[in-house]
Amino acid sequence: MFTGIVQTKAQLTAVRDATAFRQLIIQPGPEYLQNLSRGASIAINGVCLTVTDFDSAAGWVSFDVIAETLSKTNLGQLSVGDRVNFERSLSFGSEIGGHIVSGHIQTTATITALDKSANNCAMRLTLAAEYMRYILNKGFIAVEGCSLTVGETYADGFSLYLIPETLSITTLGQKQPGDMLNIELDQQTQIIVQTVERIMAERFAVPVI
């Protein structure tokens, strides 16, 4: 479990590719790896990955990424030197500043418009229409692991309005039109929509979209 509150931008220092497999070595710094253990979960660009090795003193951690994850996310597009959003898993007693995020990415969205000024950033993203029934105006969504509030919704996507703090702390400040972003839908919204659709279909023969 995560909160969608990114802790830092970490640098990708090494990539080892094999057939339908990729190993990532990421350097967030020693302060972000305290009390870490192999098998722990860390969100990288919103993707829940398992720690395979690490060196707390040197400040690096490695992850194995398999074919299923590569097909659903943008982790296969990363290159050495890129920065990624980094969040350690939620611990009991921690403050939840965002919303509950699982790190299970359903799809990706593409930035189709970007309007930035000194203190504001409006971003429009396009994604497959089948996911839009789960995205609601002012609802929660996780984009690249960041807990955000949806702006307007459209038939083929939605908009986001980002504050300077979000742009500074996360990689969203460096994104450009055409970039592909990882999307995790709000789980509670999914459950409610699917439950209502099922009941409507059973009781009133309303087809599920």
pLDDT in tens, 67-118: 999 999 999 999 999 999 999 998 766 666 678 899 999 999 999 999 998 8
Please, is 75 exposed, middle or buried when counting C-beta atoms within 10 Å of its C-beta (0-12, 13-18, 19+)?
A: buried
Please report, as a single letter, which amino acid is at residue 130: E
Total domains in the chain come to: 2
Quick one: 130 and 178 in the same domain? yes
Amino acid 86 reads: F
The verdict on 12 and 39 lying in the same domain is: yes
Asked if 113 and 82 sit in the same domain, the reply is: no
Residue 208 inside a domain? The answer is no
Q: Are residues 186 and 113 in the same domain?
A: yes
Q: Which CATH number belongs to the domain containing residue 70 in this structure? A: 2.40.30.20
Query: Do 17 and 77 belong together in one domain?
Result: yes
Indicate whether 84 and 28 sit together in one domain. Answer: yes
pLDDT at 201 (0 to 100): 84
Q: Is residue 100 a part of any domain in this protein?
A: no
End-to-end CA distance of the chain: 30
Q: Are 189 and 122 in the same domain?
A: yes
Q: Which amino acid is at 194?
A: Q
Q: Are 111 and 158 found together in one domain?
A: yes
Residue 94, domain member (yes or no): no
pLDDT score of 159:
98
Same structural domain, 135 and 166: yes
Instruction: Verify that 111 and 188 share a domain, yes or no.
Output: yes
pLDDT value for 208: 61
Residue ranges in the chain whose pLDDT is less than 70? 92-97, 206-209
Give yes or no: residues 67 and 135 share one domain: no
Q: What are phi and psi of 157, to 5 degrees?
A: 165, -160
Return the sign of the alpha-carbon dihedral for residues 32, 35, 37, 40: negative
Domain, as residue range, for 156: 107-194
The whole-model pTM stands at: 0.91
For residue 95, tell me if it sits in a domain. Answer: no
* Sign of the torsion angle spanned by Cα atoms 172, 178, 179, 182: positive
